[in-house]
């Protein structure tokens, strides 16, 4: 009898040991899934960029990690994405940096009227001191830039065309960005702020008369259905915005060195696609709007100069006053 009790006790102890061991040593590690959120439609080139990034990283890492993409603000509202990334609750986003300017005012430099004059000038920021400064600010505040992306934008309106700054007088405008809003306000426009994903409804319900947004958004959100006039960015545009593919700094730091190397390499590889898509969008928007019977006017060089002059006298001055590093960032951007 004592022998039976000894055997039973031994088996019981062995079982307890195995249970404890199992709690600390998983039998099979699960693949990590990272979530990519953005506000854009699935037909948008920015969604395609996110999908291509996911595809290439998964291939290069044999599915460690995998990705799931949430377009059209399905996971987080556009303006909530920055806080989610800063906390590590969201892994990646194709994200307009200026949307984080409420917490990081320096990032308004990436949506400053007239500060960038072409897609290629914006894409060149990666190798310039201004781009390195923006990348550091962004990473220190919770977002690592993987793929630089700049989109030009146009001006859509109803009732009258907006070709020069003074044409904005009396219109209810969505501008995107504090300093575009300030510029338009000095010209007599009233301002309503919202992400680009909400412009269509605001036009439809007469909350807005006019808007500025990226050429790609004008098309992918079908804004031609609500507009009569379109100032097209075919050759010149006063509106350029940095909308890079970014990763939460917390998530970046949790990756292995090998994973970080792949993620950075793929992000850099995709900048050619990002650049080509943005250039094509500037050309395509005017064609699409003309086909939809919207009156299209490509911005001229003289009109661009007029907008930039007003920007330098209003938005640039205010940015330098409002933001401690504002003057320095303006000077770096204009080098």
**CATH number of domain containing 96:** 3.40.190.170
Which has the closest alpha carbon to 199: 241, 242, 157, 149?
157
Tell whether omega for the bond before 65 is within 30 degrees of 0, i.e. cis.
yes
Residue 63 lies in a domain: yes
Tokens 């993987």 appear where? 146
Complete DSSP assignment for 37-85: E-SS-TTSHHHHHHHHHHHHHHHHHTTSSEEEEE-TTSSS-GGGHHHHH
Contact between 52 and 273 under an 8 Å Cβ cutoff? The reply is: yes
Residue 92 lies in a domain: yes
Contact between 154 and 239 under an 8 Å Cβ cutoff? The reply is: yes
Q: How far apart are CA 51 and CA 197, in angstroms?
A: 19
Residue 27 lies in a domain: no
Structure tokens at 284: 């395509």
What's the pLDDT score for residue 18? 38
Residue 2 lies in a domain: no
Question: Each residue of 273-300: pLDDT tens digit?
Answer: 999 999 999 999 999 999 999 999 999 9
Asked if residue 133 has pLDDT above 50, the reply is yes
Q: How far apart are CA 153 and CA 122, in angstroms?
A: 13
Residue 156 lies in a domain: yes
Higher-confidence residue: 306 or 11? 306
What's the pLDDT score for residue 19? 42
Asked if residue 224 has pLDDT above 70, the reply is yes
Grade residue 30 by pLDDT with cuts at 50, 70 and 90.
low
Query: What proportion of the chain, given as a percentage, has pLDDT over 70?
Result: 91
Residue 28, CA atoms < 13 Å, CB-side half-sphere: 2
Residue 288's Cα: distance from chain center in Å?
A: 23
What's the pLDDT score for residue 28? 40
CA dist list (Å): 156 to 6, 101, 209, 279: 86, 24, 9, 19
Average confidence (pLDDT) over 28-45: 86
Asked if residue 204 has pLDDT above 90, the reply is yes
Rounded to two decimals, the pTM is 0.86
Residue 113 lies in a domain: yes
How many other CB atoms are there within 10 angstroms of residue 255's CB atom? 18
Contact between 127 and 71 under an 8 Å Cβ cutoff? The reply is: no
Residue 7 lies in a domain: no
Residue 59, CA atoms < 13 Å, CB-side half-sphere: 8
Domain range for 65: 33-333
Query: What proportion of the chain, given as a percentage, has pLDDT over 90?
Result: 88
Asked if residue 12 has pLDDT above 70, the reply is no
- Number of structural domains (the chain) is 1
Which helix (H) or strand (E) covers residue 263, if one does? Answer: helix 257-269
Tell me the average pLDDT of the chain: 91
Grade residue 74 by pLDDT with cuts at 50, 70 and 90.
very high
Residue 240, CA atoms < 13 Å, CB-side half-sphere: 28
Structure tokens at 150: 């700049």
Grade residue 11 by pLDDT with cuts at 50, 70 and 90.
very low
Question: Each residue of 77-121: pLDDT tens digit?
Answer: 998 999 999 999 999 999 999 999 999 999 999 999 999 999 999
Which residues neighbour 277 within 8 Å (Cβ) at sequence distance 6 or greater? 45, 48, 49, 216
Residue 226 lies in a domain: yes
Question: Each residue of 143-187: pLDDT tens digit?
Answer: 999 999 999 999 999 999 999 999 999 999 999 889 999 999 999
Listed range (19-23, 198-202, 258-262, 315-319) with the worst mean pLDDT: 19-23
Asked if residue 29 has pLDDT above 90, the reply is no
Contact between 168 and 162 under an 8 Å Cβ cutoff? The reply is: yes
Average confidence (pLDDT) over 203-210: 97
Which has the closest alpha carbon to 112: 321, 332, 330?
330
- Structure-derived torsion over alpha carbons of residues 153, 158, 161, 163, reported in degrees to the nearest 10: -30
CA dist list (Å): 205 to 147, 160, 202, 209, 221: 36, 18, 5, 10, 15
What's the pLDDT score for residue 177? 87
């Amino acid at each position: 009898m004592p022998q039976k009790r000894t055997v039973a006790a031994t088996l019981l102890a062995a079982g307890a040991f195995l249970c404890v061991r199992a709690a600390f040593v998983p039998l099979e590690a699960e693949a990590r899934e990272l979530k990519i959120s953005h506000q854009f439609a699935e037909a948008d080139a920015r969604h395609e960029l996110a999908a291509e990034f996911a595809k290439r990283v998964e291939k290069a890492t044999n599915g460690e990690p995998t990705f799931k993409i949430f377009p059209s603000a399905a996971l987080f509202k556009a303006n909530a994405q920055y806080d989610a990334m800063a906390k590590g609750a969201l892994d990646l986003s194709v994200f307009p940096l200026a949307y984080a300017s409420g917490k990081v005012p320096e990032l308004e430099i990436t949506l400053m009227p007239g500060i960038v004059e072409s897609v290629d000038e914006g894409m060149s920021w990666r190798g310039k001191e201004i781009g390195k400064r923006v990348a550091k600010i962004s990473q220190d505040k919770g977002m690592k830039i993987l793929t630089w992306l700049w989109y030009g934008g146009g001006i859509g309106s109803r009732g009258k065309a907006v070709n020069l700054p003074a044409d904005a007088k009396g219109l209810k405008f969505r501008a995107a960005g504090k300093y575009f809003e300030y510029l338009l306000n000095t010209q007599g426009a009233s301002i309503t702020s919202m992400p680009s994903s909400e412009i269509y409804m605001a036009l439809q319900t007469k909350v807005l008369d006019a808007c500025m947004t990226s050429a790609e958004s004008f098309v992918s959100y079908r804004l031609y259905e609500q507009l009569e006039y379109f100032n097209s960015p075919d050759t010149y545009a006063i509106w350029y915005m940095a909308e890079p593919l970014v990763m939460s700094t917390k998530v970046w730091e949790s990756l292995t060195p090998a994973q970080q190397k792949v993620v950075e390499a793929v992000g850099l590889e995709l900048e050619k696609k990002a650049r080509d898509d943005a250039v094509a969008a500037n050309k395509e928007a005017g064609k699409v709007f003309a086909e939809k019977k919207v009156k299209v006017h490509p911005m001229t060089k003289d009109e661009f100069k007029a907008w930039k002059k007003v920007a330098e006298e209003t938005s640039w001055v205010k940015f330098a006053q409002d933001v401690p590093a504002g003057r320095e960032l303006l000077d770096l951007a204009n080098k």
